[in-house]
Structure 1
Amino acid sequence: MSTDPLAWLDDAAERRRAFGVQRTIRARPIDDHLIDLASNDYLGLTRHPEVIAGAELALRRWGAGSTGSRLVTGTTEEHEQLERELAEFTGAPSALVFASGYSANLGVVTALSNPDTLIVSDTTNHASLVDACRLSKARVVITPHRDLSAMRDALEARDEQHALVLTDSVFSADGDLAPLRGIHALCRESDAVLIADEAHGIGVRGTGGRGLVQECGLAGEPDIIITMTLSKAFGSQGGAVLADDRIRDHLVNTARSFIFDTGLAPASVGAARAALSVLKREPHLAETVLRHARVLAEAADVAETPESAVVSVVLGDAATALAAADRCRELGVRVGCFRPPSVPRGTSRLRLTARADLTADELDTVVNVLRTVVGEHA
């Protein structure tokens, strides 16, 4: 009998290495000169002078931390102003800021579900929605990707009084879009509530980056809840739920990831407010992201026209994808590398993310690198 109760961790790590899915943490140096196609900084705002200034101003006014949960000392006037601005921008009745997009999804799904609830969730939804389903006390039905027929069948067969339908608006691995109009119509037929995670939609889709829900003409509908992150297009940190006033009140009183978590740091709030201000003044940034994504897709020989900032280059096995990512890095370009369990086995890929602030010279370099690497590893 083993005397090491953690010996099984060595076996697990060895299995990961054998399948090419062992992860390591790699710090970015301050003088990193790689062209970035891996981050989610879609609008290129994380280093924008106004965004940095917004963070600095909030830091000096309120200090380094929020000092407590939102219900104690963790809510500043800055938090409430951001909530008003997010609601106005997206066309939602109200907003509630969380410490992260992950905690926003956990909070809203668990607070709105109970044993008399059915949750219908797309199979490729983000891990935060998956974990929210696991933490809920509801019955969960996982439906095939973007399959309206399967969603309808699940909703029509339910015995539960309440139902939630969960979907990413823009799916993080492939960058494709949810059929939101069709899903919302199903929800209306079944008295269900739609929760759409706009983490990859806000700032990229919709009028001036207002998101796919707005683009589909569904902004402000009382049976739609939007969740979002401030760490992607807004270049900051944090998350938010955008919804009916009654839902906001319910979350304030019941969402554990809101009640028991320290409030978002003031500097992150100030940065997000400044980023939103830039986006409202420069709405063309959203279209620039999509235009750059089309350049990346053509260079990587991806047939489908990108629908978001994400360009997925499927290469097959994990070792091939990892080698291709390392080769891109050697040539001066950082790319994402998605392997199981982030994507199904056999579909490991390079995940390229377009940014609005890529220069013409950077795009030329990226095009040459992608053509070389994809040619070597396809």
Structure 2
Amino acid sequence: MSWQQRLDDALAARREKGQFRQRRVNEQSEARTLQIGGSRYLNFSANDYLGLSRDPDIVSAWQQGAERYGVGAGGSGHVTGYHLAQAELEQQLADWLGYPRALVFISGFAANQAVIAALLAKNDHIFADKLAHASLLEAAAMSPATLRRFAHNQPAALEKLLASPGEGETLIVTEGVFSMDGDSAPLAKLHQLSQLHGGWLMVDDAHGIGTTGEQGRGSCWQQQVKPELLVVTFGKAFGLSGAAILCEQPTADYLLQFARHLIYSTAMPPAQAFALQAALLRIQQGDDLRQRLQNNIAHFREGAQALGLDLLPSATAIQPLIVGEEHQALALAESLRQRGLWVTAIRPPTVPPGTARLRITLSAAHRADDIQQLLEGLHHASRQ
């Protein structure tokens, strides 16, 4: 088989299964709308949960940061790329979340990969929730450690796996809020099990930080849990991009020596870090935004229940509507687009076979009539 034949066969298989992915050019977007192909849609697919991506103060902060620092970091943080803006952001994050140290990464994917690659060695064990993010599971599978996956949000299943002692260290990995199901992990029980077995807990709270907990401190704060490794990302509620790892001082020192994603990548632009400081302040003062988001979630779920829609039990901004078959999910998404509603169909391998879905995401920026228009569109599409 030639290289070209291999690629052609793989692509043909994806198309046949209704799993072929395509990018669409977002020509212009605001907090609640986007323009694609010259048409304007209400956007129910973004992760901009608080609507901060267009916040005037944050946009202005990025502009001020660019004027002060330029548009790039100029190198790795271990060379010349670690500027005052990144250092200040790290300190603010650490103080806010109650950790001695924070380390900023260019993306959440990079942060998750860096931690697992740097920490895990042969004879170690990783226990990961079956629905953990691809960045976590891929890093775990590629590490020299033994990966075992436990049933989603089932501490009892994890406890059974932990009952078989082994050599090396133990790392338990989960998300705070799961990106495809929108449900929350039982963090207190997971942390209790990790401590009982002498392990560490790593929580990726990409979808919880900013939207839950006092001052938006996230899932761990809300459940009164302090994992040994907390990953927060800035591409969702913060409205920007990037990530940070919160940890103890010795862990931070170790990662600065051995986390290759941190050492060998150009650092986050300091202008971006300066804008993230403004976003953090807005999140800390954002009880109004979080309340607006919760009102939108309640409005949507009440309307969906009245229509008999098959929603997963999520109390977060992520509201998955299970469809089942891939082609049917694509058809439903297309029907919604024809009514001016942009909702993305999520299909395997991103989600398990038979669980293709519409991943509906809500924002504090959405208005009540936006939610109503979405419900009417879903009602019309489901009848078709």
TM-score normalised by structure 1 residue count: 0.94
Q: Secondary structure at the match of 2:343?
A: strand
- Change in CA separation of 1:116 and 1:264 when aligned onto 2, cut-off 3 Å: same
Matches of 1:330 and 1:24, distance apart in 2? 18
> What is residue 234 of structure 2 aligned with on the other side?
230
Matched residue, 1:26? 24
- Is the 8 Å Cα contact of residues 294 and 305 (structure 1) preserved in structure 2? no
> Conserved in 2, the CA contact under 8 Å of 1:45 and 1:51?
yes
Q: 1:106 to 1:250 in 2, by over 3 A?
A: same
Aligned amino acid, residue 216 of structure 2: G
1:59 matched to 2:59? The reply is no
2:209 is equivalent to residue 205 of structure 1 = no
Tell me what 2:178 maps to. 171
What is the deviation of 1:313?
Answer: 0.1
1:323-342 equivalent positions in 2, closer than 5 A: 323-342=331-350
Segments of 5+ residues of structure 2 without an aligned counterpart are 30-34
Q: Give, in angstroms, the shift of residue 287 of structure 1.
A: 3.2
Q: Which residue of structure 1 aligns with residue 89 of structure 2?
A: 82
3-state SS in 1 of match to 2:319: strand
Residues 1:317 and 2:328 are matched in the alignment: no
Tell me the residue number matched to 1:157: 164
Please name the residue that 2:276 is paired with.
272
Runs (4+) of structure 1 exceeding 3 A deviation are: 302-305
Specify the alignment match of 1:17 in structure 2.
Answer: 15
Instruction: Tell me the amino acid that sits aligned with residue 227 of structure 1.
Output: V
Report the aligned-residue RMSD. Answer: 1.5
Find the aligned partners of 1:155 and 1:349 in 2 and give their Cα distance.
Answer: 33
Report the secondary structure of 2:3's partner residue: coil
1:370 equivalenced with 2:370 (yes/no): no
Match of 2:257 in 1: 253
Asked if 1:111 corresponds to 2:118, the answer is: yes
Query: Residue 362 of structure 2 aligns to which amino acid in structure 1?
Result: A
The reply to whether residue 217 of structure 1 matches residue 221 of structure 2 is no
Q: How many residue pairs are counted as aligned between the two chains?
A: 371
Aligned-partner Cα distance in 2 for 1:371–1:309: 20
Q: Is it true that 1:294 corresponds to 2:301 in the alignment?
A: no
**Residues 331 and 369 in structure 1, CA contact (< 8 A), matched pair in contact too:** yes
Instruction: Indicate the percent of aligned positions where both proteins have the same amino acid.
Output: 34
Moved more, 175-184 or 281-290: 281-290
Read off the aligned partner of 1:66 and give its amino acid letter: A
Distance 1:280 1:59 in 2: 24
Cα distance between partner residues in 2 of 1:136 and 1:291: 42
TM-score normalised by L of structure 2: 0.93
Taking the aligned partners of 1:101 and 1:142, their CA distance within structure 2 comes to 21
Deviation at 1:230, TM superposition (A): 0.7
Per the alignment, in what secondary structure is the counterpart of residue 54 of structure 2? coil
Pick which of 305-314 and 93-102 moved more: 305-314
The equivalences for 1:34-49 within 5 A come to 34-49=41-56
AA matched with 1:28: N
Shift of 1:305: 4.9
Instruction: Show the 5 A alignment for 1:120-139.
Output: 120-139=127-146
> What secondary structure does 1:141 align onto?
strand
* C-alpha distance in structure 2 between counterparts of 1:375 and 1:278, whole Å: 41
Q: Which residue of 2 aligns with 1:70?
A: 77
- Deviation sequence 1:251-271 (CA, Å, 0-9, x none): 111111111111012232122
